[in-house]
C-alpha cells in the first residue's frame, strides 16, 4: 500500500511539473478553437485527479482472480492490438480517418470477441460519428483520405 501511494505521489509531482511547463505555452498561430495547450492541461488535470484518489484512497488495490493472467494468449492479443494501432497511425493520412478507423476497428472488435455483423456496423457508425463530431462540431480537422471526393 505504501509503495502504491509513493508511486502515485511521484507521478502527481511529475504532472505538476509538466503542467507548469505547459501553462505558459502560446503558439504563434492556432488552427484549433481551444489552442494547443488545452489538451495537455486537460489530460494532466484528469491524470492528477486519478492520482490524488490513489494517494488518499482508504484501501489498497487488491488483485483478484478475475483478472486474466499474462499468458501466451493475452500477450498475443496485446501484441496484435499494438500492431493494429501502429497500422492505424500509418494509414491515418493516406486512407483518412473514417476508412482507417473501420479497417482497424473491425479486427480489433473481432480480437476481443465481437461478432462480424455488430463489429462492422458499430465500427462504421462510430467512425462516421466521431468524424462528424470532431470535424463539424469541434472544428478539429480530420483527414478524409480516399473519401475526399465526398467533401464539398
Distances from the Cα of 47 to the Cα of 4, 53, 80, 145, angstroms: 15, 10, 27, 33
Whether residue 34 has pLDDT greater than 70: no
Q: Residue 94 domain-assigned?
A: yes
Whether residue 41 has pLDDT greater than 90: no
- At 73 the pLDDT is 87
Whether residue 66 has pLDDT greater than 70: no
Question: Are the beta carbons of 134 and 34 closer than 8 angstroms?
Answer: no
Same domain, 92 and 133: yes
Same domain, 77 and 144: yes
HSE (side-chain half, CA atoms, 13 Å) at 3: 1
Whether residue 22 has pLDDT greater than 90: no
Helices (H), the chain: 2-22, 38-56, 72-95, 97-111, 116-131
Same domain, 40 and 87: no
**In this structure, what C-alpha cell is assigned to residue 39?**
489538451
- At 133 the pLDDT is 86
Tens-digit pLDDT profile for residues 87-139:
999 998 899 899 999 999 999 999 989 999 999 999 999 999 998 888 888 77
Q: Residue 18 domain-assigned?
A: yes
Distances from the Cα of 22 to the Cα of 37, 42, 97, angstroms: 6, 11, 28
- At 152 the pLDDT is 61
- At 120 the pLDDT is 95
Q: Which of 121, 4, 131 is nearest to 62 (CA)?
A: 4
Angstrom distance (rounded) from CA 27 to CA 9: 31
Same domain, 89 and 42: no
Same domain, 88 and 44: no
Q: Residue 62 domain-assigned?
A: no
Same domain, 49 and 82: no
- At 58 the pLDDT is 74
Q: Residue 143 domain-assigned?
A: yes
Q: Residue 33 domain-assigned?
A: yes
Same domain, 143 and 83: yes
Backbone angles phi, psi at 112, to 5 degrees: -105, 25
**Average model confidence (pLDDT) for the chain?**
84
Angstrom distance (rounded) from CA 46 to CA 40: 10
Q: Residue 44 domain-assigned?
A: yes
pLDDT mean over 53-79: 78
DSSP state of 116: H
Same domain, 111 and 85: yes
Same domain, 32 and 83: no
Q: At 68, is the pLDDT very low, low, confident or very high (cuts 50, 70, 90)?
A: low
Q: Residue 90 domain-assigned?
A: yes
Question: How many independent structural domains does the chain possess?
Answer: 2
Question: Are the beta carbons of 98 and 127 closer than 8 angstroms?
Answer: yes
Domain of 16, in residue numbers: 2-56
- At 60 the pLDDT is 62
Q: Residue 98 domain-assigned?
A: yes
- At 54 the pLDDT is 86
Same domain, 52 and 83: no
Amino acid at each position: 500500500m505504501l509503495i502504491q501511494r509513493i508511486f502515485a505521489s511521484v507521478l502527481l509531482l511529475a504532472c505538476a511539473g509538466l503542467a507548469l511547463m505547459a501553462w505558459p505555452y502560446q503558439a504563434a498561430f492556432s488552427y484549433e478553437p481551444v489552442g494547443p495547450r488545452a489538451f495537455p492541461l486537460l489530460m494532466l488535470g484528469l491524470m492528477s485527479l486519478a492520482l490524488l484518489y490513489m494517494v488518499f484512497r482508504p484501501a489498497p488495490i487488491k488483485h483478484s482472480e478475475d483478472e486474466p493472467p499474462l499468458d501466451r494468449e493475452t500477450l498475443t492479443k496485446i501484441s496484435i492490438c499494438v500492431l493494429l494501432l501502429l497500422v492505424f497511425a500509418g494509414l491515418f493520412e493516406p486512407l483518412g480517418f473514417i476508412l482507417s478507423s473501420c479497417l482497424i476497428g473491425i479486427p480489433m472488435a473481432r480480437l476481443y470477441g465481437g461478432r462480424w455483423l455488430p463489429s462492422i456496423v458499430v465500427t462504421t457508425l462510430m467512425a462516421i460519428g466521431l468524424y462528424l463530431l470532431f470535424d463539424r462540431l469541434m472544428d478539429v480537422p480530420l483527414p478524409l483520405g480516399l473519401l475526399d471526393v465526398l467533401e464539398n
